[in-house]
A and B are shown apart, each in its own frame.
Chain A
Amino acid sequence: MLLFLVLCPIAAAVLIIAGTPARLTALVAAISNLFVTLILLSRFDQVAAGFQFVSSLLVSADWRIHFAFGVDGLSLLMLLLATSVSVAAVWFAGKIENYERAFYASLLFISAGAIGAFASIDLFFFYAFHELALIPTFLLIGIWGTGNRSAAAWKITIYLTLGSFVLLIGLILLYQSLPATARTFDIRELQAAVTANPIAAPAQRHIYLLLLIGFGVLISLFPFHSWAPEAYASAPAPVAMLHAGVLKKFGLYGLLRLAIPMLPDGAHYWMYLLVILLLGNIIYIGLVTIAQKQLDWMLGYSSVMHMGYIFLGIASSNILGTTGAAALMFAHGLSIALLFAIAGQIRNRTGTLLFDDLGGLAKVMPFAGLAFGFATFAAIGLPGLANFASEIMIFFGAIRNGWEMQRFHIFQIATVLALWGVVISTVYMLRAYRSAFMGTIAERWTKLADLDAGLRIPVALLIAGLIWFGFFPQTLVRMVTPTFRTYFTATK
C-alpha cells in the first residue's frame, strides 16, 4: 500500500511523458493516492505505537540501507496532508500553455518526493525522496513562473541544496555516532539503539546543530528564510501550494522524527538559540509581512512566519507542544494551500496581485472571497478551525515547559511574544482580505468570473479538512500522541 502511494505518482509521471492525457492521468493518480491514504487511515491501529504497514527491501548490506516504508500516526498525518494537497494542486493546475506534460509530470514528482519522504523509515531514502523534488521545482518555477522567475528558481535551488547537504552531513554523523557494529539507516533500529545507549552529549550537540541548520534552511527558519517568499511569489500556484503546504513540512517532520527522540541533550543545549530564531520568524518576519504590497509575497512571508509557531511547539519538547506542532503542520498545510490556490486564480484572471490594483473582488467572485475568508480565519487562528486547536496546544505546551524549568523563563516570554505574533498575523491577513476582496471594485475587474464549479470541489475539500479538525482536533491528536509518548518516555 505504501509502496503504491510512492510509486503511483512516479508511474503516472512516466505515463504522462509517454503520452497519456496529462491532466486526466495526474488527477487520477492524485485522487487514487488520497483514496489509498484514507483506506490506510481506516485500517490504522491508533492505540499501538510504532510503525505499521511496514515493507522493507535490503538495498545495501554493507551500509545497512533499506528501501523501507512504514507509517505511524505522525507520518500518516503528513501523508494525509500530502495527498490531499496534491489533489488540490493538480486540480488547480488547469490548462497549461506550453510543455503541459512536463508540468504535470514535475508536479507529480514533487508529490512523490514528499510522500516518499514521509513514508520512508530509512534515513537514506527519507533524505533522498525529499531531494527528488528539487529539480522539478527548479523547472516548474523556471519555466512556468511569473515575475523574476529565473532569480527565484536559482535562489530556492541553491539554498535548498546547501541546506540539504548540511543536513546530509548531520545524518551521516548521526549514523556514525552509533558503534560500528550497530550502524544502520533504519529509523526503527536507530531509535532502539539510541534508546539503549544514548549518544554522547557533545556529539548530540554537533548533530543537532547540523540538523537544525539543514532542516532550518528547508523550513525557512529565520536567518535562512530569504528564498521562500521570492520562490513562492514566482512559482505557479500549484507549486507554491505543494511546496509551502507539504514539502516544507519535511524539515519539521525530520526534527520531530529524529531530533526530538534521538538528540534530547542537543535539543536542550541549543534551545535558547532556537527560541531566539523562532521569535525572529514570528516577530521580525511578521512585521515584514505587514509591509508587503503584493498578495503573493505576503502569503510567502506569512508561511515563513507561521513556521515560528511550529518551531515553538518543537522547542518546547513535551507531548503537548510537539502534538500541537504536528497538528499545526497539518492545519497550516491546508490553509496555506488554499490561500495560494485562490491567489493563483486571481492572478490568472487579473494578471496582478498588487493590493493597490485589486479591491472589491468579492462582488464578482463571491465564492473565491468566501474561500479566501475561511483560509484567512484559519491562518489567523480563529476558534473552530484547525489552526486554532493546534496553536493553543503549542502555547500551552510552551508555557508549561517554562514552568517546569523553574529558572529563567524564556519560554514564557517567548509564548507571550508569540501571542503578540497572532495579532500581527491578524493585521496582515485581514488587511490582505480587505484590500483584495472588500472596498470598491475597479472598473476593469467587473467582468471577472468566479471559480467554476469544478474548482469548488478541491476548495471544499481543503475547507472541510480545516473545519473538521477545528471542531474535532482529538481525532488528529489521538493519532499522533502515541508516537510522542514513546519518544518522551524513552528519553526520560
Chain B
Amino acid sequence: MIAIRAPYLEIAVLVLGVTILLLETFAAKIAKKTFAYAGIVGLAAVLVASFFLEPSTQQTSGFWNFYSADALAIFFKRFMLVTTIIVLAMMVDYAPALRKADESTSANLGEFFSLPLLTCAGLMYLVSAIDFIFIFVSLELVTISFFVLVSFPRRNPIALEAGVKYLILGALSTAFLVYGITWIFGVTGETNLARITAAFSSGKIDHHAATFGAVLVLVGLGFKIAAVPFQMWVPDVYQGAPTPITAFLSVGSKAAGFVVLLRVLQPFLMLPNMQRLVVLIALLTVVYGNLAALPQNNLKRLLGYSSIAHAGYLLIGVACFDGRAVTFYLVAYLLMTLLSFAILIIVAQQSGDEISGFDGLAKRAPFLAFAMLVAMASLAGLPFTAGFFGKFFIFVSAVAQKQTALVAVGVVTVACGFYYYLKVVRAMYWQPSTNNNAISVSVLSRAIMILLIIATIVFGVYPQPILEALRR
C-alpha cells in the first residue's frame, strides 16, 4: 500500500481538474453533466483519502518550508473539498439557468464544471501555506479562477459588471498584499511565517516599517474576507455572479482567507496596536454587515451582506486569538450558507431571487421551506443549530478576553440579524403565494440538503467531533 502524504491531495485535485478540462476539449461527445459528476466523485475520493494520511512529519526543510500539514491545514483541506463537492452539485442544478441565459455558453459548460476543481486545489494550498510567497501564489490561483467563474455568463451585463468589479478590486487587493509582503521582507529578510515571528520577537527590527507592512497585508486579506472597509465589492459581485459561484466565494474563499489570517496574525500580534486594529475592524464589520442587511429585498444581496456580518463575528474570534472558535464558526457557516444557496438556486429558477419570490413557499414546497427555516435559524444563531454554537464559542472567548465593546455590539447586532433572517421565514410562511406550481428537486440536491440539515442540527447539539478533529 502506498503511503498517502498530504501534498498528494492537492496534486490529485489538480490532475483531476486538468484531466476534465482536457477531456472537455477533446471529447466533445460526452455530456457536460458527466464532468460535474466525475468531479464530484473524484473529489469525494480525495476526501476519503484525506482520512488515511500518513502522520505528518516534522520536517522543516525544502518543501516543508512553505507547506504545512498540521491539523488545521488537514481539517481545512477537507473543508474545501466538501465545499467544492456541494458547489459542483449546485452547479448541476444551475446549469439550465446558464444555458437559458445564453445559447453560446452551453458549449462552455465543461469549463464551468472543471474550473472549480482548480480553485479547490488553490484553496487547499492556501490553508497549508506558511510562507508569504506560497500564500501569494496560491491566492492568485484561487483569485484568477474566480475571475473567470464570476463573469461566466458573459452575455449578462450584471454578471459582467460583477466580474469587472471583482477583477479590479481583486487586483488592487493583490497589489496591497504584495506591497505589504515586500515591506515585511525588507524589514526581516524572511518570507517564512515562523522565521518572521522569530525576527519580530527578537526586537531588533524597525517596528514602524514592520507595522506598515503588516497593515498592508491585512488590507489585502481584508478584501478576501470582506471585512469593512474593504467590503464594497461584495454585494454587487455576490448578486451578479452565478449563484453557485457566489456560494463558493462566500464559503471557500472566505474560509481560506481566515485560515491565512490566523496564520499571519501569529507574527503580526507581536507588533504594537495590532490587536486593537483587528478589534476595530471586527466592530466595523459586524455593525456594517448587519445594518446594511436590514433593508435588503434581494436574497442574494441579503446573503452577501450577511456574509459580511459573519465575517465580523469571525473577526471577533480572530481578535481574541481563538482559532478553535473561528474554525467551528466556519464549519457552521459552511453548512448554513451552502444550504441556503442550494435552496435559493432551486427556488430562483421558478420565481427569481428576490425575497418576495419565496412568498408562500411553505405551500408550494414544504421541504424546501423547512430546509430554509433551518438555514435561517442557524444563520441567525438559534440554539440546537450549529450556528448557535459558533456564536456561543465566539462570545465565550470575547468575554474571556474582556472585550466589552465587542460583546456589547455583538449582542445588539445578533438581534438585528434575527430581523432580516426571519424576514425570509416570514415570506415563506405568512405571505400568500403568488403561484402554486410545485417545485421539483433533483435526488442529488435533495440528498445534499438533507445531509446539510442533519449536520446543522447534529453539530448544534454535539460539537465535539469538530473540536476533536482540530486537536490531532
* Complex contact A132–B384 (CB within 8 A): yes
Contact with B425, one of A129, A139, A175 (Cβ below 8 angstroms): A139
**Chain B: interface residue total (CB-CB under 8 A):** 29
Query: Given A158-B418, A162-B411, A176-B399, do A168 and B430 touch, yes or no (CB 8 Å)?
Result: no
Per the bound structure, the CA–CA distance linking A131 and B461 in Å amounts to 13
Complex contacts, A127 vs chain B, CB 8 Å: 383
Q: How far is the CB of A36 from chain B (nearest CB, A)?
A: 22
Closest to A165 in B: B411
Per the bound structure, the CA–CA distance linking A135 and B407 in Å amounts to 24
Residues 359-403 of B, flagged 1 when their CB comes within 8 A of A and 0 if not, give 000100000000001000100001110001000100110011000
- One of B139-147, B439-447, B462-470 at the interface: B462-470
Residues 148-171 of A, flagged 1 when their CB comes within 8 A of B and 0 if not, give 001000100110011001101100
* Complex contact B362–A67 (CB within 8 A): no
* Complex contact B467–A154 (CB within 8 A): no
**Chain A: interface residue total (CB-CB under 8 A):** 33
Most-contacted residue by chain B among A150, A154, A161 (CB, 10 A): A161
Complex contacts, A129 vs chain B, CB 8 Å: 383
Q: Is A142 engaged at the interface, CB distance under 8 Å to the other chain?
A: yes
Q: Is B64 engaged at the interface, CB distance under 8 Å to the other chain?
A: no
Q: Is B18 engaged at the interface, CB distance under 8 Å to the other chain?
A: no
Q: How far is the CB of A180 from chain B (nearest CB, A)?
A: 9
* Complex contact B418–A161 (CB within 8 A): yes
Complex contacts, B392 vs chain A, CB 8 Å: 124, 168, 172
Contact with B430, one of A131, A142, A162, A175 (Cβ below 8 angstroms): A142
Q: Is B47 engaged at the interface, CB distance under 8 Å to the other chain?
A: no
Complex contacts, A158 vs chain B, CB 8 Å: 415, 418-419
Query: Given A128-B384, A131-B382, A132-B383, do A162 and B464 touch, yes or no (CB 8 Å)?
Result: no
* Complex contact B384–A135 (CB within 8 A): no
Closest to B407 in A: A169
Per the bound structure, the CA–CA distance linking A39 and B106 in Å amounts to 67
Q: How far is the CB of B88 from chain A (nearest CB, A)?
A: 31
Task: Name A's interface SS.
Answer: helix
Q: Is B412 engaged at the interface, CB distance under 8 Å to the other chain?
A: yes
Contact with A59, one of B383, B426, B462 (Cβ below 8 angstroms): B462
Contact with B411, one of A142, A143, A157, A169 (Cβ below 8 angstroms): A169
* Complex contact B464–A60 (CB within 8 A): yes
Complex contacts, B467 vs chain A, CB 8 Å: 60, 62
Q: Is B136 engaged at the interface, CB distance under 8 Å to the other chain?
A: no
* Complex contact B400–A176 (CB within 8 A): yes
* Complex contact B362–A102 (CB within 8 A): yes
Q: Is B37 engaged at the interface, CB distance under 8 Å to the other chain?
A: no
Task: Name B's interface SS.
Answer: helix
Residues of A103-157 whose CB lies within 8 A of B: 124, 127-129, 131-132, 134-135, 138-139, 142-143, 150, 154, 157
Query: Given A102-B362, A143-B430, A165-B414, do A128 and B383 touch, yes or no (CB 8 Å)?
Result: yes
Q: Is A173 engaged at the interface, CB distance under 8 Å to the other chain?
A: yes
Q: Is A61 engaged at the interface, CB distance under 8 Å to the other chain?
A: yes
Q: Is A99 engaged at the interface, CB distance under 8 Å to the other chain?
A: yes
* Complex contact A135–B377 (CB within 8 A): yes
Q: How far is the CB of A100 from chain B (nearest CB, A)?
A: 13
Contact with A67, one of B419, B426, B429, B461 (Cβ below 8 angstroms): B461
Complex contacts, A150 vs chain B, CB 8 Å: 426, 430
Closest to B464 in A: A60
Q: How far is the CB of A319 from chain B (nearest CB, A)?
A: 33
Q: How far is the CB of A491 from chain B (nearest CB, A)?
A: 25
Complex contacts, A143 vs chain B, CB 8 Å: 429-430
Closest to A128 in B: B383
* Complex contact B396–A172 (CB within 8 A): yes
Q: Is B422 engaged at the interface, CB distance under 8 Å to the other chain?
A: yes
Q: How far is the CB of A107 from chain B (nearest CB, A)?
A: 15
Residues of B186-241 whose CB lies within 8 A of A: none
Query: Given A60-B464, A165-B415, do A138 and B407 touch, yes or no (CB 8 Å)?
Result: no
Residues of B229-255 whose CB lies within 8 A of A: none
Per the bound structure, the CA–CA distance linking A233 and B163 in Å amounts to 51
Per the bound structure, the CA–CA distance linking A483 and B82 in Å amounts to 50
Q: How far is the CB of A142 from chain B (nearest CB, A)?
A: 5
Q: How far is the CB of B315 from chain A (nearest CB, A)?
A: 18
Complex contacts, A134 vs chain B, CB 8 Å: 382
Q: How far is the CB of B214 from chain A (nearest CB, A)?
A: 31
Complex contacts, B415 vs chain A, CB 8 Å: 158, 161-162, 165
* Complex contact B382–A168 (CB within 8 A): no
Contact with A138, one of B362, B399, B422, B462 (Cβ below 8 angstroms): B422
* Complex contact A142–B414 (CB within 8 A): no
Complex contacts, A154 vs chain B, CB 8 Å: 419, 422
Complex contacts, A135 vs chain B, CB 8 Å: 373, 377, 382, 422, 425
Per the bound structure, the CA–CA distance linking A128 and B425 in Å amounts to 20
Complex contacts, A173 vs chain B, CB 8 Å: 399
Per the bound structure, the CA–CA distance linking A476 and B422 in Å amounts to 41
Complex contacts, B382 vs chain A, CB 8 Å: 131-132, 134-135
* Complex contact B463–A60 (CB within 8 A): yes
Most-contacted residue by chain A among B395, B415, B461, B462 (CB, 10 A): B415
* Complex contact A166–B411 (CB within 8 A): yes
Closest to A170 in B: B399
Query: Given A62-B467, A132-B383, A143-B430, do A161 and B461 touch, yes or no (CB 8 Å)?
Result: no
Per the bound structure, the CA–CA distance linking A165 and B157 in Å amounts to 43
Residues 408-430 of B, flagged 1 when their CB comes within 8 A of A and 0 if not, give 00011011001100100110011
Per the bound structure, the CA–CA distance linking A154 and B422 in Å amounts to 9
Per the bound structure, the CA–CA distance linking A453 and B429 in Å amounts to 34
Complex contacts, A172 vs chain B, CB 8 Å: 392, 395-396, 399
Complex contacts, B362 vs chain A, CB 8 Å: 99, 102
Contact with B418, one of A99, A102, A157 (Cβ below 8 angstroms): A157
* Complex contact A128–B388 (CB within 8 A): yes
Complex contacts, B396 vs chain A, CB 8 Å: 172, 175-176
Closest to B412 in A: A162
Per the bound structure, the CA–CA distance linking A124 and B461 in Å amounts to 10
Q: How far is the CB of A368 from chain B (nearest CB, A)?
A: 31
Per the bound structure, the CA–CA distance linking A172 and B462 in Å amounts to 19
* Complex contact B425–A138 (CB within 8 A): yes
Complex contacts, A162 vs chain B, CB 8 Å: 411-412, 415
Closest to A180 in B: B400
Complex contacts, B407 vs chain A, CB 8 Å: 169
Complex contacts, B399 vs chain A, CB 8 Å: 169, 172-173, 176
Q: How far is the CB of B293 from chain A (nearest CB, A)?
A: 15
Q: How far is the CB of B248 from chain A (nearest CB, A)?
A: 29
Q: How far is the CB of B404 from chain A (nearest CB, A)?
A: 10
Per the bound structure, the CA–CA distance linking A154 and B425 in Å amounts to 12
Per the bound structure, the CA–CA distance linking A59 and B392 in Å amounts to 15
Per the bound structure, the CA–CA distance linking A275 and B468 in Å amounts to 48
Contact with A61, one of B384, B388, B464 (Cβ below 8 angstroms): B464
Complex contacts, B461 vs chain A, CB 8 Å: 59, 67
* Complex contact B412–A142 (CB within 8 A): no
Per the bound structure, the CA–CA distance linking A128 and B385 in Å amounts to 10
10 pairs, A vs B, C-beta closer than 8 Å:
A60-B464, A61-B464, A124-B392, A132-B382, A135-B425, A138-B422, A139-B425, A157-B418, A172-B395, A175-B396
Q: A60-B467, A131-B382, A132-B382 are in contact. List 17 more A-B contacts (CB 8 A).
A: A59-B462, A61-B464, A99-B429, A128-B383, A129-B383, A135-B377, A135-B422, A135-B425, A162-B411, A166-B411, A168-B392, A169-B407, A169-B411, A172-B392, A172-B396, A172-B399, A176-B396
Q: A-contacting residues of B (Cβ < 8 Å)? A: 362, 373, 377, 382-384, 388, 392, 395-396, 399-400, 407, 411-412, 414-415, 418-419, 422, 425-426, 429-430, 461-464, 467
The 8 closest A-B CB pairs, nearest first, are A128-B383, A162-B415, A131-B383, A165-B411, A161-B415, A161-B418, A172-B399, A142-B430
